[in-house]
Amino acid sequence: MYLDIKNLSFKYDQINIIDSFNMSAPKGSITTIIGESGSGKSTLLRILAGLNNSQTGIFTLDNQIVFNEYKNVETHKRKIGLVFQDYTLFPHLNIEQNIAFGIHSKHKKKERIQSILKMVELENDAHKYPYECSGGMQQRVALARAIANQPKLLLLDEPFSNLDQDLKIRLRDQFISWAKQEEITLIWVTHDMEEAYAISNQVIELIKKI
């Protein structure tokens, strides 16, 4: 499968936070992770992104080992993106520059930025700075930046929980259609069961250990 995680375990102060977690997912699919607060959802994403080490288990992505018993690819080489609910844009860069920041390849960079701005309907706001944008718009830029990076896997940790319900659903559905266009594989953390079943190809529940 495009993504495979086998027997992933992680301890915090001798306590099992993640215990033999398994999942597989095809390219371009959406997996949601649900579970009550403290069940290890954020910890799982941090491990996959490479921000928490000392896990055991095997993680492969796009036919490459990300980590196993012998190997642990560095965070910045994983091509895995992570978007938090309290997203951060660079305050001194405008929208276009914030999006451009994620694009490492120089090849057709200008065209790529324009097509992303168009897709997320921000062409007319490209020169605004974050302080000139509403919360919803800032989150849209954060998501656009994450997509522009073309990650092999994009991890979203309750990405819309700061937004009101209408905006949340609108932005969520738009975002999913952008991710599909770009064939980006998503792991989406939420504690909202209804959201989980509305958007995903598979739902995995984490159970709180303590």
Task: State the nearest-atom distance from the C-beta of 161 to ligand ADP, in Å.
Answer: 12
The amino acid at residue 184 is I
Residue 42 within binding range of Mg ion, rule CB under 5 A = yes
Q: What is the rounded CA–CA span in Å between residue 156 and residue 173? A: 14
Residue 39 within binding range of Mg ion, rule CB under 5 A = no
Instruction: Look at the block and give the residue holding tokens 């000139």.
Output: 132
Task: State the nearest-atom distance from the C-beta of 6 to ligand ADP, in Å.
Answer: 20
Partner interacting with residue 39 (select from Mg ion, ligand ADP, none; CB below 5-8 Å by kind)? ligand ADP
Taking the least distance from each CB to ligand ADP, the nearer of 10 and 67 is: 10
Only segment of 37-45, 119-127, 129-137, 193-201 that touches Mg ion (CB under 5 A): 37-45
**If we measure between CA atoms, which residue out of 42, 51, 44, 50 comes closest to residue 10?**
44
Task: State the nearest-atom distance from the C-beta of 125 to Mg ion, in Å.
Answer: 30
Question: Which pair of structure tokens corresponds to residue 167?
Answer: 């905006």
Which residues contribute to the site for ligand ADP (CB under 6 A)? 12, 17, 35, 37-43
Q: For residue 109, give the H/E element and its range.
A: helix 109-119
**If we measure between CA atoms, which residue out of 95, 102, 83 comes closest to residue 190?**
83
Partner interacting with residue 35 (select from ligand ADP, Mg ion, none; CB below 5-8 Å by kind)? ligand ADP
Partner interacting with residue 200 (select from ligand ADP, Mg ion, none; CB below 5-8 Å by kind)? none
Task: State the nearest-atom distance from the C-beta of 157 to ligand ADP, in Å.
Answer: 7
Q: What is the rounded CA–CA span in Å between residue 119 and residue 110? A: 14
Question: Which pair of structure tokens corresponds to residue 16?
Answer: 């099992």
Taking the least distance from each CB to Mg ion, the nearer of 31 and 42 is: 42
Contact 206, 16 (CB under 8 A): no
Binding site for Mg ion (CB under 5 A): 42
